[in-house]
A and B are shown apart, each in its own frame.
Chain A
Amino acid sequence: MSLAKGVWSQFSRRSPSLGVSSKALKTALLSPDLPNGPVSFKKRSSKIQYQSPIGMEQVYPLAYEMMEKRSEQVYAKIDQITEEINSAEDGSDLKIKLLAKKDKLLADAEKFNPEVLYKVQFATNSLDVTQPVYRRALKEKWESYAKMLTMQRLETLNVIPDTLPTLEPEVDVKIRFAHNAIETYVEPGKILSSNVTSKPPVIEITEFEEVQHELYTVLIVNPDIPDIENDTFSTTLHWGLKDIPLSNVDNVIDPKKLLEDETRELISYLPPTPEKNAPTNRLAVWVFRQNGVPLEKVEVTREFFNIREFVEQNNLQAVGAHVFRSTWDRNVNRVRELYGLPKGRIFHRVRR
């Protein structure tokens, strides 16, 4: 017998992703006790040994009923706001405000649904990002660790302010190099082998607000190329992408997306090939939101690239960043050959 009798049992107006798909799990979550033992335990002996805390069986149905009633009240409010939205003018400030409020209420209505709670905590790989409640959960998770880590690495490695003055992160940027079968994201600030970085990365941009069709610009810049003539370092543009259409669901920049339209690649990927004995190179990945406006007639130079000027000219807003590092290793020469680059220089302690 299921506890859900009200709004949380109806999937006609709610997305089916707001419920768990496994029948056994659903029964476990929507019964006062665990009729078939804990589903999350795999071993049979652990299942038999497990005992639910005493008293939970009595209080859980009441708690569930109360939370469901609250959710029903929130849904009644959502219905009101939806009517207001329908009567509001398209593109007006009021409508934007109401839409934001509706999103917030939709997340509130489902936040303490046990099925949603379960998915948010224990089935994070299959969250439906079209639902505000899951987007909020992802945002909270990102803010609790990944966001802080990224900012810390950007600041301690002086990517801020060496490339751009500052950043208010709004999106989660994750990158992945296709160097082995294991799909692991690069931790910000990690020193990668030049073999790994020899092919362009796959970039995943997670938006936490609702995004239907938005265009993004991505730049990978390296501010650590030695400029001996001026006794300084110069910035090189390793990869430039523009007008990449992304949404909440389709949020990955991979070769397939770039092949769809070749003008999206401002400048082709140049793998980092640090010089021997030169300092470790930082490769800053900057992500800009274009607010729906495509970039027109953009010309970039690979060497002596001025990223601040580029951002100002094109009126871009930085929303996320990532950084990885590269230092000379014995794969560099192979990578240079692969891309037909000239032989690298070797630096010495004393200038010759």
Chain B
Amino acid sequence: MLSNVRTSIIRQVDYLTSGTQLHFIRTKRKKAGSDKSEVRKLVTQLSVLSANRKQPKLLKFSNEDYVKHQVIQKSWNLYVRDKKAEEANILQKQYESIRAANEDLQSVSKELFSFANTREPSKRFPLELRVPTEYPPNQIWHHDYTPKVEKKK
């Protein structure tokens, strides 16, 4: 294998691996099979990063398909834009609703308002809530839940 690698490539490799113990010494040509595996490894690794012979052909649309592609992309952009606007609208409404409820609560009962706004530093997100997955688990819902009996101190 090494015998087939031209000297110029090996020089390049030598330059690239100057940090390692690999050194190139010009010697007699060797027979195939008696290659330095480390050099071969490096050549392979470099070729993995190279686009040479691995890059696909340029994508060429016909005029009709190019127009169709533009229509698809534009409609997708508009679809996403509308969806985001709708989400923002709902969030805005929810915010207004929370504010109205709190202002109302403050005017009605200061006590309840202060209860509603006390900080809960020890509150944690429940670990039992599952992250949605692509398919449901074998046991879909935990039906037979019984609360823990709290020990009295």
Contacts and interface: CB of A to CB of B under 8 A. Distances in A.
Nearest to B76: A63
A66 B75 contact: yes
Contacts of A29: 64, 67-68
Interface in B64-82: 64-72, 74-76, 78-79
Sort chain B's interface into a size bin: 10 to 19
Contacts of A117: 67, 70-71
B21 interface: no
Given A63-B76, A66-B79, A121 B63 contact: yes
Interface string B65-108: 11111111011101100000000000000000000000000000
Contact of A38 (B59, B64, B76, B78): B64
A60 interface: yes
Contacts of A70: 78
Interface in B42-77: 59, 61-72, 74-76
Contacts of A59: 72
Interface residues of A, number: 26
Contacts of A114: 67-68, 71
B59 to A, nearest CB: 7
Nearest to A37: B62
A67 B64 contact: no
A51 B70 CA distance: 17
A92 interface: no
Given A56-B69, A117-B71, 18 more contacts: A28-B64, A29-B68, A34-B62, A38-B63, A39-B64, A53-B69, A56-B65, A59-B72, A62-B75, A63-B68, A63-B74, A63-B75, A64-B71, A67-B71, A112-B74, A117-B67, A118-B64, A121-B66
Interface of A: 25, 28-29, 34, 38-41, 50, 52-53, 56, 59-60, 62-64, 66-67, 70, 112, 114, 117-118, 121-122
13 contacts: A25-B64, A34-B62, A38-B62, A38-B63, A38-B64, A39-B64, A40-B63, A60-B68, A63-B68, A63-B74, A63-B76, A66-B79, A112-B70
